[in-house]
Structure 1
Amino acid sequence: MRLATMLCLFLLTAVPPLHATVIDHLEPANWWIGMKRNRVELMVHGEGIAAATPKLQRAGVAIVDVQKTENPNYLFVTVEVAADAKPGAFDIEFVEGGKVVAKHPWRLDARAPGSAQRRGFDKRDAIYLITPDRFANADPRNDSAAGMKEAANRSDPNGRHGGDIAGIRKHLDYIAGLGFTQMWITPVLENNQPGFSYHGYAITDLYGTDPRFGSNDDYRALSKEARARGVGLIMDVVLNHIGSEHWWMKDLPSADWINNGGKFTPDNHRRTTIQDPHAAPGDRKGFLEGWFAEAMPDLNQRNPHLATYLIQNSLWWIEYAGLSGIREDTFGYSDTDFLSVWAKAVMDEYAGFAMVGEEWSANPAIVAHWQHGKANPDGHVPYMTSMMDFPVHIALRDALVRPEGWDGGWTPLYEALANDFLYPDPDDLVVFAENHDTTRALAQVNGDVGLWKLAMAYVATVRGIPQFYYGSEVLIEGPHERKDGELRADMPGGWVGDQANAFTGAGLSAAQRDAQDYVRKLFQWRKRTPVLHTGKLQHFAPVDGVYVYFRYDGKKTVMVALNRNPQASTLAMDRFSDFAKPGDRANDVLAGKAVTLGTSLALPAKSATILELD
C-alpha cells in the first residue's frame, strides 16, 4: 500500500499535469482561397503551447508542417489551402496527452473578383500623401482610447491631435476633386507607445489598426469608398523595425528575432555600404542591424519565420484592404536578400501591383540599385516597381534657392535628370517636392509662393509619378528647420472650430484660394493629359534662370518653361524649333487662353508657363 502511494506521488511530480492553454495570438487570423501562396505559416503564441500538437478537420485544408523555437510559448504551424477548399470558419485544436488543451478559430475567405489582376499605381496617377492624425478629426470619440498609452493633446506638436480614418473618408471627394488618383497614408496600424505615437512608424500590432484611427473595417471601407471615386489606396509598410511596446518584446519568439540581441545599438545610416565594394563588413552590419531609435527595435529578417511573417502580412493587407500599392519605409535598412524575396512574393501574387521604396540618398546609383530590372554588380536582383526619387527631390529644392551661376540656378536639377540612364525605368519613379519627413517646400523657398508654384508645376509635368503632401494646397509652410511635429501641421478645417477650412474654402485668404485653385487646375489637367503619363521628355540646358523641357508622344506636345527670375523674361524660341515654330497655335494651360507663338515668348516672373501645342 505504501509502495503504491509512493508510486502515485512520483508520477504526479514527474509528469506535468495537463492544463488548458490560452492562445494569446494566432496570426494571420484568416487566409484566402485561390492565392498562389496557398501555404500560410501561422504564428501561434500562448504559454507552453509548444508542448501541444495542432490539429484541424476541414476539407481542403491541411497542416503540413509544425516548427518550434527555443521559446516554448510559440508554434509555427504551416497550413495548406487546396484550390477546391470552401470559405468558412473552423477551429484549430491543440492537443496534449490525447486531450484538447486549447482551440482557436480560423477562417478561409473567398477572394474579391479580379483581386489577382488589380492595377497598381503608375505614371497615369498622382499621389496625395496624408498624415492621418493631422488631416481631419471626424470622430472625436476615438481621440483617446482605453488601453492606449498616449492620450490626445492637440496643443502638443508632437502629440496626438485626433485625426482619423473617418476624417479621410469624409473628404474623399475633396481629394479626388483636386485631381489626385492615389492616396498614400502614413501608417495607421497600432502604435501603443508612450509618446510620439501619432506618426505611426513604431508599430505594436502588425495586424491591427490603431483604435484612435478606427478599425480594420474602417480602413477597408476607406479603400472601397476611395476606389469608387477613382482613388487607390497605398499602404505605408514598415519591414525594418517595430515599436518597443510591441507584444513580441515581452516574449520574443526566438533569441535572434531582434538585431543586436534585442539591445539598442544606434544605426550608422551608411547606406552606401550595401553596394560599396570597399566597405568594411562592420560598417555594413552597423547599417543593416542598427536601430533607428531606442523606441524602434530593429527586426532580423534573416530569421526565416520572421521573414515569412512579414511577407504574409503584406499579402494579407493587400488582399484584405484592396490596396493598389505599397510604400515601403526605410527600404535599404532591411536585410538585402530578404528585400528581394519579399518584393518578389508580392509581385508574384499581384503581377499588376506597384510598390515604391524609400531610399533617402542624393546619389541616383544608390537609388537605382533597388528598382526592378537593374543589373547589379553585386548580384542583387530587385523587384520594386518604383523608388522615391530623392536625387531629383534634393536637386529641385536646391535649384529653387541656389544663386544663378555656371553651376547654380536650375543646373542641379537639369543634371540630376540627366542621371536617368542609371535607372531601369525612370518613368516609374515617384517625384516630389516635399513629404512628411522634409520641411515643406514653401518653407524651403522662405514663403515665396511664386517659387513654390514652380516646384508644383515641375512635379506635375516632369517624367515619373507625382506625389503631393496634404495642406500645401492651402500654403501650410511649417518651420524652416525640420521639426516633424510642426511640419505635419493640422489641415485647416479638419477640426470643429477651425477658423479656416480648406475643404469648404471658408476663411481662406486670397493667396490660399489661389494656391488651391492652382493645384486643382494643374493636377486635373495632368489627369486628362496622356502625354504627361507616357510621353518622352527632352530638356534644354537652362539659360539665364529659365529651364525648358518638352513632353511629346507623336500625337501631342507640351512645352514647359520655368522662369525662376524675380522679373519677367523673354525667351527666344529658335532653340526649340524641333517642337515649336512661329505661327504655331497653343493653349496656355494655367492662363486658360489660346496663344500664337512668335520668335520669342514672354515669361512672367517666378512662374511656370505650360503650353499645349496643337
Structure 2
Amino acid sequence: MRVLLACCLWLSVFAPPAHAAQVERIEPANWWVGMRHDRVELLVHGKGIAAATPRLSHAGVAIVDVQKTDNPNYLFVTLEIAGDAKPGGFEIAFAEAGKVVATHPWRLDAREPGSAQRHGFDAGDAIYLVTPDRFADGDPSNDSVPGMREAANRANPNGRHGGDLAGIRRHLDYIAGMGFTQLWPTPFLENDQPGYSYHGYAITDLYRTDPRMGSNQDVRALARAAKAKGIGLIMDVVLNHIGSQHWWMRDPPARDWINHGGRFAPTNHRRTAIQDPHAAPADRQAFVEGWFVDAMPDLNQRNPHLARYLIQNTLWWIEYAGLSGIREDTFGYADTQFLSDWAKAVLDEYPDFAMVGEEWSINPAVVAHWQRGKANPDGHVPHMPSMMDFPLNLSLRTALAQADGWNGGVEGGWMPLYEMLANDFLYPDPGRLVVFAENHDSSRLLADLDGDLGLWKVGMAYIATIRGTPQFYYGSEVLLRGPKQRDDGLLRADMPGGWAGDRADAFTGAGLDARQRDAQDYIRALYQWRKRTPLLHAGKLMHFAPADDVYVYFRYDERRSVMVALNKHAQARTLALDRFDRFLRGRSARDALTGKPVALGESLRLPGKSATLLEIE
C-alpha cells in the first residue's frame, strides 16, 4: 500500500499532465559562439508546445524573447549568446504549471578559425556547375532510400539517377585538373517529392541533406576535401519557395507562412513590375506572391519569423559546411525588402563572402537593380555582390547562332553581344557578374549551334576571357548536347563515366571519340590558362566594334595585354592590325594556349570559326 501511495505521489509531482506539450524538432539545432548574429530565434515545433514555457541553464546563454503564432504547435524562442559563452550541449526544457513536460537537446559549437574572414569567389575563379543526381554515383547503396517517395530509375530522363555527394567528391581531382576553382552543385537538400525530385529545387527540409545524396556530414566533408584541392563550395539556396511535401505544409507555423493561404495561385512572371514606376500594385503582388507550380508553395518572407528562419538557415549552412559562396535561386521573386535584409545579414557576418543571384531577364537594367551599390529610383537598397549575367548569356547565344546583318546592324552578327556589353554602365560593378554560355535551365550551347564545334569553342573562349566570373556546365567539355528545345531531363544528362558500366568515361578519357577528346582538351587548356593569367581576372577591358564577322577585344594593364579575336564566319578572315596599334605596335605575341610565337605584321590570319587568343608583351 505504501509503495502504491509513493508511486502515486511521484506521478503527481513529476509526471506530465494529460495532453502535455510535446517537442518534435527545434531549428536550428545548434549555433556557434562568437557569431555577430548572436540572437538566435529557435523554431520549436510540437503538439501544443505554445502552452509551455521554455527554460535552460547554460553559462552565457539566456532566453530573451518567446513569441507565439496562431498555431498552438509552435513557439519562437530567442536565445542571446554571450561572447564568453562556452561551447557544449545542454537541454532546453518546456514546463507547464511549473512542471517540465518536455526537453530537447541543443548545442553551442566553437567556430572554425578565421571563419568570419573567409574569402568568397571572385573574377579570379572559374565555377563548375553540376546537377548532383546526374554527375556521378559514388554510393549505389543510397540510390533508393526506404521511406522516401521517389526511387531511382535511370531509364527515366525525369527521374532520379543516383548521383550523389560521394560521386562529386570522388572526382574533385578531375574538376581541379580542368582548371576550375569553384564547385556549384544544384540543391542537395531533402526533396521528398513523389516525382521529378532529382533537380533539388522543391526542398522539403531546409536543414537536412537528401539521404539519396548523402548526409549533412558528407556536405562538410565535400567542402573540406574540395578546399584541400583549391576548390570552393558554392551552395544553391532557395528562398522563394519550398516543396509541396515540406513538413510545414502538414502543419504551417502561421496562417500567413505560405502565400495565398497555402493555395496554388501562379506567378505572372512580370519581373519588370518591381522596378516599373507605372506598374499596377496588383501586378507586383502577383509576381512576388504567386507560385511557380503547385508543387512549389511560395513563401511569405514578410512574416518576420519566416524571414529570420531563412536568414539563420543561410548563416547556419555557411558556418556548418564551410561554404565559399552562395547562388540564390529565383532571386527577384521573393519579397524585395527581405532580399535586402537577407543579403546584408550574410555580409555583416562574412564581409568578404560571395553571393550571386538569379534574375532571369534579358534587360540589364532589371538585373542591375539588384546589385550592391546600385542607386535605385524606388529607394531599394540592394546588398547582393553579384548577379548572373543573363543579358550577356542570351546575347552571346543570339550572336553565335545568326549571320551578320547588313551594314553591321544590331539585327545580325556580333552586334547584339557588342552592344549588350556596352550596357555595363548600368551595373555598379560589372566585374563581379557571373558569365555563362549555358546552365541547368537552358538548352546546351552545342545544341543551339546544331553541333558546330568551331562556333562552340568561340562561345566558350568568350566566356573564359570576358569580364566577370565564368561558370561552366558539367559535361559540355565532352559534348553533352541534349535537344535544341529545352527539355530539362535530357539536357541534365548523366556524365559519361559517372556510373559503373558506362560505355565512355569523361574522367579517364576511355571511350571518348575524337571530337569529345578535342573539346575536353580545349576546355582544360582554356581554363588552366585562365587560372594562371591575372589579366583575365582583373585586367581592364576594351572592345572594338565588330566588322566582317570578327569581334576583337583586349584585357590589359599598364604593361601587358591579352588579345581575343573571335571569327564566327566559316571562312578565314584577314584582320588588319593597324586599328589595334595601341596594344600591338612594337610588341611580341604568342599563342595563349600553345605558347608558340605569333608574328604581328600588318595583318593577322584568323581561321574560320575560331577564337585567336594571344598574349601580348
Specify if TM > 0.5: yes
Aligned residue number for residue 220 of structure 2 = 220
1:245-256 matches, within 5 Å, as: 245-256=245-256
Q: How does 1:250-399 map to 2 (within 5 A)?
A: 250-399=250-399
Tell me, what secondary structure is at the counterpart of 2:583? coil
Report the equivalent of 2:205. 205
**C-alpha deviation, 1:280, in angstroms:** 0.7
Instruction: Provide Cα deviations, 1:519-543, integer angstroms capped at 9, x if missing partner.
Output: 0000000001001110100000000
Q: Which residue of 2 aligns with 1:533?
A: 537
d(CA) in 1 for partners of 2:56, 2:88: 13
Distance 1:453 1:447 in 2: 11
Shift of 1:21: 3.6
For 1:36-185, what aligned pairs fall within 5 Å after superposition? 36-185=36-185
Residues 18, 96 of structure 1: 8 Å contact kept: no
CA contact (8 A) 1:62 1:81 kept: yes
Residue identity matched to 2:224: K
- Contact kept, 8 Å, 2:201 with 2:243, in 1: the verdict is yes
2:560 equivalent to 1:556: yes
What is the aligned partner in structure 2 of residue 601 from structure 1? Answer: 604
**Conservation of the 8 A alpha-carbon contact between 2:157 and 2:489:** yes
Match of 2:457 among 453, 478, 482: 453
How far is the alpha carbon of 1:209 from its aligned partner?
0.1
SS in structure 2 opposite 1:338? helix
Q: CA deviation at 1:446?
A: 0.7
Give the Å deviation of 1:61.
0.4
Contact 1:547/1:563 (8 A) holds in 2: yes
**Residue 607 of structure 2 aligns to which amino acid in structure 1?**
P
Which residue pairs with 2:613 in the alignment? 610
Q: Distance in 2 between matches of 1:340 and 1:21?
A: 37
- Structure 2 CA distance, aligned partners of 1:281 and 1:255? 23
Indicate whether 1:483 and 2:483 are aligned: no
- Opposite residue 400 of structure 1, the aligned amino acid is L
SS at structure 2 position matched to 1:610: strand
TM-aligned CA deviation for residue 227 of structure 1: 0.4
Q: Secondary structure at the match of 1:579?
A: helix
Alpha carbons 2:21, 2:52 under 8 Å: kept: no
**Deviation for aligned residue 1:514:** 0.7
| Contact in 2 for aligned 1:590/1:609 (Cα 8 Å) | no
Give the Å deviation of 1:17.
Answer: 4.0
- Aligned residues of 2:566 and 2:611 also touching (Cα < 8 A): yes
Provide the rounded CA distance (Å) in 2 between the counterparts of 1:142 and 1:23. 29
Aligned to 1:473: 477
Deviations 1:40-97 (CA, angstroms, capped at 9, x unpaired): 0000000000000000001000000000001000000000110001110000000011
The CA deviation string for residues 223-264 of structure 1, in whole angstroms up to 9 with x for no partner, is 000000000000000000000000000000000000011100
Per-residue CA deviation, residues 341-388 of structure 1 (Å, 9 max, x unaligned), is 000000000000010000000000000000000000000000001000
Q: Is the 8 A contact 2:478 2:506 kept in 1?
A: yes
- How far apart are 1:596 and its partner, in Å? 2.0
3-state DSSP of counterpart to 2:198: helix
- Rounded to whole Å, the distance in 2 between the matches of 1:524 and 1:178 is 7
Q: Residues 475-519 of structure 1, C-alpha deviation per residue, up to 9 Å, x if partnerless?
A: 001111000000000000000000000000000001111100100
Q: Matched residues in 2 for 1:327 and 1:383: separation?
A: 14
> 2:418 maps to what in 1?
414
Cα distance in 1 between the residues matched to 2:321 and 2:198 = 21
State the secondary structure of the residue aligned to 1:153: coil
Q: Is the 8 A contact 2:25 2:46 kept in 1?
A: yes
Give the counterpart of 1:588 among 586, 591, 594. 591
Aligned to 2:8: none
Q: Is the 8 A contact 2:28 2:313 kept in 1?
A: yes
**Superposed CA offset, 1:409-433 (max 9, x none):** 0000000000000000000000000
Q: Is the 2:497–2:505 contact (alpha carbons within 8 Å) kept by the matching residues of 1?
A: yes
Q: In the alignment, does 2:513 pair up with 1:509?
A: yes
The percentage of counterpart residues that share the same residue type is: 73
- Give the TM-score taking structure 2 as reference length: 0.96
Displacement of 1:463? 0.4
Amino acid at match of 2:138: A
User: Residues 19 and 101 of structure 1 are in contact (CA less than 8 Å); yes or no, is this contact kept in structure 2?
Assistant: no
- Whole-Å Cα distance in 2 between the matches of residues 280 and 418 of structure 1? 31
C-alpha separation in 1, matches of 2:284 and 2:324 = 33
Aligned match of 2:435:
431
Deviation at 1:19, TM superposition (A): 4.5
- Secondary structure of the 2:121 match is coil
Paired residue type of 1:214: G
One-letter code aligned to 2:198: Y
SS of the residue aligned with 1:567? Answer: coil
In structure 1, give the amino acid aligned to 2:152. Answer: A
| 5+ long unaligned stretches in structure 1 | 1-11
2:246 is aligned with 1:243: no
Give 1:598 shift: 0.5
Give the Å deviation of 1:98: 1.2
Return the offset for 1:18. Answer: 4.1
CA distance in 2 between counterparts of 1:297 and 1:552 reads: 48
Local SS of the residue matching 2:233: strand
**In the aligned structure 1, how far is the partner of 2:225 from the partner of 2:559?**
35
- Hey, what does 1:492 align to over in structure 2? 496
* 1:199 partner SS: coil
Partner of 1:7: none
Aligned partners of 1:425, 1:169: CA distance in 2, in Å? 33
1:138, 1:167 within 8 Å by CA — same for their partners in 2?
A: yes
The Cα of 1:25 is off from its aligned counterpart by 1.4
Q: Could you tell me how far apart the structure 2 residues matched to 1:122 and 1:586 are?
A: 28
Which residue number corresponds to residue 522 of structure 1? Answer: 526
* 2:232 aligned with 1:232: yes
Query: Could you say what secondary structure the match of 1:578 adopts?
Result: helix
1:445-488 per-position Cα deviation (integer Å, ceiling 9, x unaligned): 11000000001100000000000000000000111100000000
Q: Secondary structure at the match of 2:337?
A: helix
Secondary structure of 2:613's counterpart equals strand
Aligned residue pairs total 599
Distance 1:49 1:76 in 2: 10
State the secondary structure of the residue aligned to 1:104: strand
CA distance in 2, matches of 1:393, 1:558: 22
* Contact persistence 2:590–2:597 (CA under 8 A): yes
Q: Deviations over 1:138-178 (max 9, x none)?
A: 10000001221000000000000000000000000000000
The letter for the 2-side match of 1:451 is L
SS at match of 2:346: helix
Give the match's secondary structure for 2:347.
helix
